[in-house]
Structure 1
Amino acid sequence: MKRTKKLLMVGLSLVCAVGLFAGCGNSDSGNSADKTYELGILQFANHGSLDNCREGFLQGLKEEGIEEGKNLNVTYKNSGSDAATDNQIASSFASKDMDMICAIATPSAQSAYNAAKDKNIPVIYTAVTSPKLAGFVDDSDKNVGEITGTSDLVLADDQLKLITDMMPKVKNVGILYSTSEVNSKAGIEAYEKAASKYGVKIITQGTSSAADIPMATDSLVKKS
């Protein structure tokens, strides 16, 4: 249990900078060098930004004295954007009593939390847009269990400002989103809230799978 708490403490110091070096918290990692930690990393898909989250997390652990190949064993799995595979991998991690699970993207984080919560395995998430909608925090914004992480909620106001600065005559802004991810709702709401400030209308089109993206894009273009 002590080594689990130690790895959790280091993990908490890392989530302050997703994809970058750890920049907050106590850098004193104590006697971590004489222990070997088991870390499971569950990533939802192959994507540059998600890869950066994974690499940055491992780099941050290294900065804190916990390094793969020395005192850290890493089991990395990618679910290939498949929810069922996500659940299988998360269950496998939980059954192996990992010291910690790092889950990258909302679906993977939900799978990891559901699988690990009864095993008291801490989960650190990254690339989660709305922790509240995902079920990781309660109405008072407190963590619901041994889970914490960072949100990548889009800065809709800044993005719409950039769009209207570059295209002053723009009237409609189209957003293609995944209907299977709860964080899509939070992102769309942020854009809709900021839209009136810039005199634009938000037009949305949902898609349930990668195969549907071309058709959904065509539909969105016609709406716009």
Structure 2
Amino acid sequence: MKKVLSIVLCGVLLILASCGTNSNQTGGGNEEKKTVKIGIIQLVEHPSLDGAREGFIAALKDAGYEEGKNLKLDYQNAQGDMNNNMTIAQNFVADKNDLILAIATASAQAAVQSTKDIPILFTAITDPVGANLVQSLENPGVNVTGTSDTHPDAIKNTINSIKKFIPEAKKVGIIYNSGEPNSVVNVEKAKQVIKEIGLETVETTIATSTEVKQAAESLVGRADVFYIPKDNTVVSALESVITVANEKKIPTFVGEGDSVKRGTFASYGFEYHDLGYTTGKMAVEILNGKKPSEIPVGFPENLELYINKKAAEQEGITLTENMLKGAKIVGE
């Protein structure tokens, strides 16, 4: 009898041990996860890209991956330098990271050129297909997927709001870096809408952030309003544009909500933190065994009108209740 009980007890212990092992492997609940290494390459620092990075990390934390415990993060800022992008990406590959997050188009292109073996996620990308990051939005292919910041109605709605809010405007001044593929795409879309609503585009290009203030000054007297697209070089020096806009009372429309919070007048946008969070959830799927090729490219879901009241006052805009209706108000 004792022998039978001993055998039964051993069997129970083996089953319990087996269950414990399987629970850890699935990663469910609060079980201890193996430590993972993630490299983050970001083109430049400005609130939108920073928000995407912070949202990504928040999603990992909510899934049980926490820096200093079971997560090693290596964050590198390329400082807007294309050569830095490639060096950082190659170092991430040499360090055998489990996953790479690339924030902005140039950083993502460098990562994609550097490896076909390590999973790559991108975020804050205007045109993933046009930038040759993925084969298609539905079937990215190989080791790459992520999220685009191009809501299909964002540029159209923002440009149309120029006509609505500043009906006397005739010319729209655009500043952008022609070396940023994402900017070229955004500007072409904006110019098309500007033409459709009967306005004229006056554009000036820059190569570095130090040229932004001079570019803004060059548009004074030639443009009735400014439109700043989702251009990382210009947005990283946005305060230079704001200084000119406030001094010369030029209404400034922008490509995303974070720039409105910083002191421009208006935009149809979304929260980049949310976009990064969506990307972080993709990372969790990949760390749990899913292939990037099995995850379609994601997009912003919500689009809101952002208006900065203080900027409106500084740029000489008289706000009405009708203009503010349904808007997300900042700068009060």
Matching residue's letter, 2:200: K
Q: Deviations along 1:35-61, whole A, 9 cap, x unmatched?
A: 110000111111111111111000011
Residue aligning to 1:207: 206
**Residue 161, structure 1, aligned to residue 152, structure 2:** no
Residue aligning to 1:126: 123
Equivalent residues, number = 195
- Taking structure 2 as the reference length, the TM-score comes to 0.55
Going from structure 1 to structure 2, the CA distance change for 1:140 and 1:86 (only over 3 Å counts) comes to closer
Q: Choose 1 or 2 for highest CA Rg.
A: 2
Which blocks of at least 5 consecutive residues in structure 2 are unaligned?
A: 1-25, 224-332
Matching residue's letter, 1:107: A
- Does structure 1 conserve the Cα–Cα contact (< 8 Å) formed by 2:120 and 2:145? yes
Tell me the SS of whatever aligns to 1:84: helix
Residue aligning to 1:80: 79
Which blocks of at least 5 consecutive residues in structure 1 are unaligned?
A: 1-27
Tell me the SS of whatever aligns to 2:130: helix
Q: Deviations along 1:61-110, whole A, 9 cap, x unmatched?
A: 11122221221111111111111111111110011110000111111111
Residue aligning to 2:149: 152
Q: For residue 140 of structure 1, report the CA deviation from its aligned partner.
A: 7.3
Going from structure 1 to structure 2, the CA distance change for 1:145 and 1:218 (only over 3 Å counts) comes to farther
Alpha-carbon distance in 1 for matches of 2:195, 2:105: 29
Alignment of 1:1-224 (within 5 A): 29-30=27-28, 33-117=32-116, 120-138=117-135, 142-153=139-150, 155-221=154-220, 223-224=222-223
Structure 1 stretches of at least 4 aligned residues deviating more than 6 Å after TM superposition: none
Tell me the SS of whatever aligns to 2:96: coil
Matching residue's letter, 1:126: T
Bigger relative contact order (CA 8 A; separation at least 6): 2
- Taking structure 1 as the reference length, the TM-score comes to 0.79
- Does structure 1 conserve the Cα–Cα contact (< 8 Å) formed by 2:202 and 2:222? yes
Sequence identity (%): 35
Alpha-carbon distance in 1 for matches of 2:27, 2:133: 27
- Does structure 1 conserve the Cα–Cα contact (< 8 Å) formed by 2:27 and 2:33? no
